Chains A and B, each alone.
Chain A
Amino acid sequence: MSEAVLQDLDIRAGAAIADGPEWLEPVRRAAADRFAVIGFPAARDEEWRFTPIAPITRGIWRPSPGVAARVPADRLAPFIFGQAEWSTLVFVNGAYSEALSRVMDLPRGVLVGSLAEALRGDGAVLRAHLTRHAPMEGSSFTALNTAGFRDGGLVHVPAGLDLDRPVHFVYLTTADAEGTAIHPRNLIVVERGAHASVIESYVTLVPDAVYWTNPVTEVAAAAGSWLEHTRIQRESERAHHVALTQVDQQRDSHYRSFSMAMGGALARHNLHVRLNDENIETLMYGLYLTRGEQVVDNHTAIFHDQPNCRSWEVYKGVLDDRSRAVFNGKVFVRPEAQKTDAKQTNRNLLLSDWAKVNTKPQLEIFADDVKCTHGATVGRLDDVALFYARSRGVPKEAAERLLTYAFAAEVIEEVALEPVRNELDRLVLSRLEAQRGGGAAGQG
């Protein structure tokens, strides 16, 4: 069956596997072989227990078209934010669109562009990092991506440089994406002492299209580097999205992630961060807004391998209708990782009686001199706070929206880049207005 999937996706015989430099080919073949052996996760697999992947595993998917469909710029516009000097890489149904992308003046040596294009040149950066961080052994989805990826975003910031203009990867699907599987592959390498901000957006022009996005993003944060990495997942609410972000951090580096999920029938984001040296700081923030029968799953894993590191994680969810959220937060602290300071929080707000949350902190601590805490809550809007807002003249529905927004905004505030914060705010507000009876104007 796994072999059939590879055939359907044109991974065995197709162009993808032979595409790119020589060193990559055996890696891709090994990944395809790996997938052929392990197949998709079984229903009893603990890692996938609460994640209904049957629509993916039972579906028959075609490979995505290799060339970018034409999309008028004004249809892309609603998904673009930030400032004119930001670089934007646009991928239409997985293929890089030169016409829609815009790479601005960059400091000398900085690389921002399509991965496929960079692979034609085979730089040392790719050889050192591409497929070197995301392990395919344990994951079917990563193996499949590694075997089948065609393109993606690449950012390389050489040592000591400050890429003060953020880079935005936009993955846009059109009607042509219907029935296809897309395997975007992103690589972000921030060298010693360098700074960067990267945003990944997954958006669609067809809100009811059925497709499957299977992205893998590898991040290498070298010693003393600083990286803000935001992910905005707004796929079609009938699409499937299973993603891995794999981060390797070195000494004195600072990595901050914000993962926003509001799209997908099934959307899962695995965020794995390995702290390979001392004095590392890792901030992981997340927000998910679900409705209808959406299932949104966040699996995070942080590997404290070395002493004196700090990780701070806050994921919040707002669930409506019959939607469901899964949160699994793993924290591994190795025996040598003394003085680890790790805190994890998952808070959920239920707007409906039928929404459900499966939340599970999973701490495995083998060092004795550490500070590790975790907490999870599932609740409703606070009656007293609601009364407080209403007693100030705010009608009940608007007060509910205001407090729901406040709940979400508290984690959005943690994003360092202001235009990103504003965009996240806007997305939350517009979702709340769509959800709760047409906004304040509807109050009459």
Chain B
Amino acid sequence: MSELVNGKGLSLIPKADAKQSLKDFKSDQEVRWCPGCGDYAILAAVQSFLPELGLRRENIVFVSGIGCSSRFPYYLNTYGFHSIHGRAPAIATGLAASRPDLSVWVITGDGDALSIGGNHLIHALRRNVNLNILLFNNRIYGLTKGQYSPTSEVGKITKSTPMGSLDKPFNPISLAIGAEASFVARTLDSDRKHLQSVLREATAHRGTSLVEIYQNCNIFNDNAFEPLKDPGLRDDITLKLEHGQPIASASKAVVRAANGGIEVVARDGVSDEQILVHDAHNPDPSLAFALSRLDEPAFEHVPIGVFRQVERPAYDVLMAEQLDEAVDRQGPGDLSELLLGGDTWRIG
């Protein structure tokens, strides 16, 4: 197996000659989200983060599906493909699998990724295609004007559910870990520093990285993530996941529970040694999965950061290796030889 398999995420992508700035990544298109939408903050964070990568702009491609978030590619001066509902991971898979020299990003929302495109998402994750998937989760359908989404809480009153929604929501982090994802993280639209730190780790990972971004829809589901933003609450309920660091907030800590699982307890009731130390690289996904279930009931304590990051060969590299191996074994393809293969006979 080549050294690239375990190389860093950007090693195959050509580097820019000159230093870049935020301006280089802004397109000339007018941004058309509702005033106050969380998407603006994410766009600004991404635009100011991309120069840091130092990649050739022409080797970056943003692929999206359908929905408010999927307008994202138009606003970046890179290559972009605004595709069809739910199919961005499939289209991006073909692109990334055939072009290991590209940095391919998928921009999607909770409806796009988890409803109509759920199948493509889980298969991209298990294949470990070289993609950075940014899942904007606002727990509502925005572009179709306010129906409940697959991440809406049970009992959500919306236009299509006047008596409350009945379906149990997906937890995107649990879903991704269950789908064999090699990189899974959660961050918040309004915390640019954290968001960019997660993007930094996601881009350094070769393979599929799934980043759930809690994003506020101020029109149809305003303040959905307010507890995480409220200065009086956030420091207590936010459990920042950092590899090698104890998992704790100002007042809470995660410890091993007597039943073998994990639980959140008051920080001052336990010693430092008892607090669980985060191991994002643990090959066993069960602890990362348990962490993803901590915010039940919602917003009592919410882990954010990188839940899981394990090294696994990326699909594009494996595919390219098979082509190279075929050439090594049999030599490069020769059309005339191909046609003459099998039983032939000559007439005349």
Asked whether A and B interact, the reply is: no
Instruction: Mark A residues whose CB is within 8 Å of B.
Output: none
B residues contacting A by CB (< 8 A) are none
